Amino acid sequence: LAWHYTQYDKDLRLADKQLYAEAQKAASLKGIGLWSDPSPVAPWDFRCNKPAPSVAVEECEIRFAGFRYKIDPVVCGICRNALKSASTLPSLMELVRLATRPGSGDAN
């Protein structure tokens, strides 16, 4: 799924704006569509030829609760799969607590 580019949604009904925003958030959290790429490039950045932020080969980055974390690739795969099921959220939070170190600490 793709980005919901709010600059161009002025003609949409409120319900459609909310639907697009929720679809983008869900796709991002589940890591599907363009969000499966560790460094997705926004269309407006692609058109301006801006490079995507790099992610080290030996590390993975996951976004959780508004923060970005650098994670071991094996743990990263586990976390990404766990995000797809709400029933694993408590164990995911414990895994994140034990296996991560905050990246830049920037909120999304």
Model-level pTM greater than 0.85?
no
Q: Return the higher-pLDDT residue of 79 and 63.
A: 63
Is 11 a residue whose pLDDT tops 80?
yes
Give the whole-angstrom CA distance, residue 11 versus residue 101. 42
The 3-state DSSP class for residue 82 equals helix
Q: State the chain's mean pLDDT as an integer.
A: 69
Mean pLDDT across 53-72:
63
Q: Which of 15-29, 47-61, 76-90 has the highest mean pLDDT?
A: 15-29
Structure tokens at 17: 């704006």
Contact 101, 60 (CB under 8 A): no
Cα separation of 92 and 38, whole Å? 19
Contact 47, 37 (CB under 8 A): no
